[in-house]
Structure 1
Amino acid sequence: MKKKLTLALPLLGAAATALLASEHLFNFAFKRVNYVPETSADKQKYADAYYAYVDWYQAIDKQTWYLHEHDARNRMVAEYIPAETPSDRTVIIGHGYKGNGETMANFAQMYHNLGFNVLLPDDRGHGESAGKYISFGWLDRLDYLQWIQQVIDRSDGAVKILLFGVSMGGATMEMLSGESLPPQVKAIIADCGYSSVEAELVYLLKRQYHLPKYPIEPLVSTISKRRLGYYLNDVTATGQLKKNTRPILFIHGEQDVYVPVGMAYENYAATHAPKQLWIVKNASHAESFWINPQRYQQRVVHFLNTYFDPQQPLA
């Protein structure tokens, strides 16, 4: 009996350590923060350009839109920038992990200059929107269905909608692609989205913390099920993309070490709809725009003129 107890104590200690580590990791990764963390060191060189876009964003006339406006626990908030002249084209932009709509100011300006109305939601657990936890796009996709419907309702149905997102926002649009989308949604652009939340977590566990998948990932997944309603392996962009029927452009940095470029190839392979893939040489995570904004816009315009509204090409 004494020998069995002696053997059991280290096992109990290891289990307790794994549980504590999983709880800590879940809170670090999934719990909302009420600030935008600093960007990675490799992107600090773009700071002046970034804040020039933010200044433009803060100065331009905007409207605040809501989902569940009078329900504080479920209220979602977005900023809407109307086109310079009346337009039937609207882009809905999904932001990255722990960001908000304002962090997409550069893309907002790009699409505004192309004649689009621009809607920039703050996702669950981000910015001005409610939510204790970050859902990595899975629950957000349901909110975006409502944002799409609101765009349609406010446009009397005469609107062409583009879905665009970067990083977590890219994965959100990929997950959204498998839902039943209204005909007003014409195309999707996903920049550096991951293939699944589970695969991304396991990759970062190994790269950043030098930890194996087991037992941490299953424990984090169980916590996710209890608090967010889904296991991590329920949440895949690839599974949703298999159901997608909209033309989609995948963009990914060749040197991305946060969301590995292999995930772009997985997402591309899973897609049966019209598709394009642009791997940007020497770009790290979410850097493809910053390396050459003009080239980025040209590539986007080429895709839009092919699939979004070929009868009225953009300049």
Structure 2
Amino acid sequence: MIKRIGLIISWLLLITVIVLVGAANYFYNVAINRSDEAIKLYGTEEAVEAVSALEEEQKRLQDLRSWTEKQDFEEVEIQSDDGLTLSALYLKNDAPIGKTVILAHGYKGNNEQLPEVTRFYYEKGYNILKPDARGHGKSGGDYIGYGWHDRNDLRKWVDYVIEEKNETSIFLHGFSMGASTVLMASGEDLPNEVKGIIADSGYTSVKDEMAHQLKYLYHLPPFPLIDITSLVTEIRAGFSFEEASALNQVQKKKSDLPLFIIHGEKDELVPSEMAEQLYEKTSGEKKLWIIPGVGHTQGFLDKEEEYKHRVMEFIDAAMKQ
């Protein structure tokens, strides 16, 4: 009888393990594996509504398209540390002021996005580099790095604009996954040419963000599925959810490298509490702006003039250090 109970328990454990591993591989394929298909994410409805509202402003959109089409973007490439070909668009300013911004896009995005932000910086005299993150756009890679391996790619892009474009004053500005990318990069040994970092709507860590999505989309607790999916990701993509932490990286940031954290108060995709945690843990010069009533990455669109003013104010202060 005891032998039979033991056999039943063993079979149940085996079935549980098989189900969990299968579920973990499913979540890897949905969230980590490279795919051009859009996926459902919790907290994206307000972003869709904002985009729809923007699309109704036909004149503004047409002006933006017209401006973008007139710009002479140069397609450039570098090699990542692990041998991937990474692609970016570089826009040299016709009336440069000696500053460059590297824009980091969000999850499932590409370097053709952020046209409003691109025009804003260009009109201020900046040269602009817009990389495709690994696993996105024209860049190589069969997985999405959520900012972790991308932090090293971003460091390579910084070296590129210094060595190939002779840039001497560089700012990093990221949105959503791109925000976490620049935050993760802040903990690396960035050259002195990098003068400041702007992170709009970034998450504290991949583990925290995955747990947030799992809870609200599938109503499941983080343990054990997040941990098993993290193990699958480490095997298949070479990083774990726990190590991919912007929170740990900002604590390593050079104290003289200014950081500006921006987040919408009504952000459901990446809760604003994450911005507060990042601000508390970061070392050195820092600013935090939680924008009242604003959703995920919608600060620039919803509070455009104030957003521009605060960003320029931050950059001006950073350049005086």
Q: Tell me the equivalent position of 2:196.
A: 187
Question: Percent identity over the alignment?
Answer: 34
The superposition leaves residues 24-43 of structure 1 with CA deviations (integer Å, 9 ceiling, x where unpaired) of 10111111123667974332
Q: Tell me the equivalent position of 1:25.
A: 27
Q: Does 1:63 align with 2:55?
A: no
Q: Tell me the equivalent position of 1:233.
A: 242
The superposition leaves residues 165-186 of structure 1 with CA deviations (integer Å, 9 ceiling, x where unpaired) of 0000000000000111111100
Secondary structure of the 1:64 match is: strand
Q: Does 1:115 align with 2:112?
A: no
Alpha-carbon distance in structure 1 between the residues aligned to 2:124 and 2:154: 22
Equivalent position to 1:172, from 178, 181, 191: 181
Closer, same or farther: CA 56–231 of 1 in aligned 2, 3 Å: same
Deviation at 1:48, TM superposition (A): 4.7
Alpha-carbon distance in structure 1 between the residues aligned to 2:126 and 2:142: 32
Secondary structure of the 1:15 match is: helix
Secondary structure of the 1:163 match is: strand
Q: Tell me the equivalent position of 2:136.
A: 126
Whether contact under 8 Å (1:252, 1:280) holds in the other structure is: yes
Residue identity opposite 1:209 in structure 2: Y
Deviation at 1:116, TM superposition (A): 0.3
Normalised TM-score (structure 1): 0.92
Closer, same or farther: CA 22–72 of 1 in aligned 2, 3 Å: closer
Closer, same or farther: CA 37–58 of 1 in aligned 2, 3 Å: farther
Residue identity opposite 2:107 in structure 1: Y
Secondary structure of the 1:85 match is: coil
Q: Tell me the equivalent position of 1:242.
A: 251
Alpha-carbon distance in structure 2 between the residues aligned to 1:294 and 1:48: 20
Q: Does 1:135 align with 2:145?
A: yes
Deviation at 1:2, TM superposition (A): 2.7
The superposition leaves residues 239-268 of structure 1 with CA deviations (integer Å, 9 ceiling, x where unpaired) of 111111210100000001111101001110
Residue identity opposite 1:165 in structure 2: G
Deviation at 1:55, TM superposition (A): 4.7
Residue identity opposite 1:151 in structure 2: V
Whether contact under 8 Å (2:30, 2:39) holds in the other structure is: no
Deviation at 1:214, TM superposition (A): 1.3
Secondary structure of the 1:250 match is: strand
Q: Tell me the equivalent position of 1:11.
A: 13
Normalised TM-score (structure 2): 0.90
Residue identity opposite 2:197 in structure 1: I
User: More deviation in 71-80 or 227-236?
Assistant: 71-80
Closer, same or farther: CA 265–102 of 1 in aligned 2, 3 Å: same
Secondary structure of the 2:16 match is: helix
Whether contact under 8 Å (2:93, 2:125) holds in the other structure is: yes
Q: Does 1:45 align with 2:53?
A: yes
Closer, same or farther: CA 143–257 of 1 in aligned 2, 3 Å: same
Secondary structure of the 1:233 match is: coil
Deviation at 1:293, TM superposition (A): 1.4
Closer, same or farther: CA 102–182 of 1 in aligned 2, 3 Å: same
Q: Does 1:281 align with 2:288?
A: no
Closer, same or farther: CA 36–148 of 1 in aligned 2, 3 Å: farther
Secondary structure of the 2:148 match is: coil
What is the number of equivalent residue pairs in this alignment? 308
Q: Tell me the equivalent position of 2:228.
A: 219
Secondary structure of the 2:155 match is: helix
Residue identity opposite 2:70 in structure 1: A
The superposition leaves residues 125-159 of structure 1 with CA deviations (integer Å, 9 ceiling, x where unpaired) of 00010110000011111111111111111233x52
Deviation at 1:99, TM superposition (A): 0.3
Residue identity opposite 2:299 in structure 1: S
Equivalent position to 1:148, from 146, 158, 167: 158
Whether contact under 8 Å (1:54, 1:106) holds in the other structure is: no
User: More deviation in 143-152 or 224-233?
Assistant: 224-233
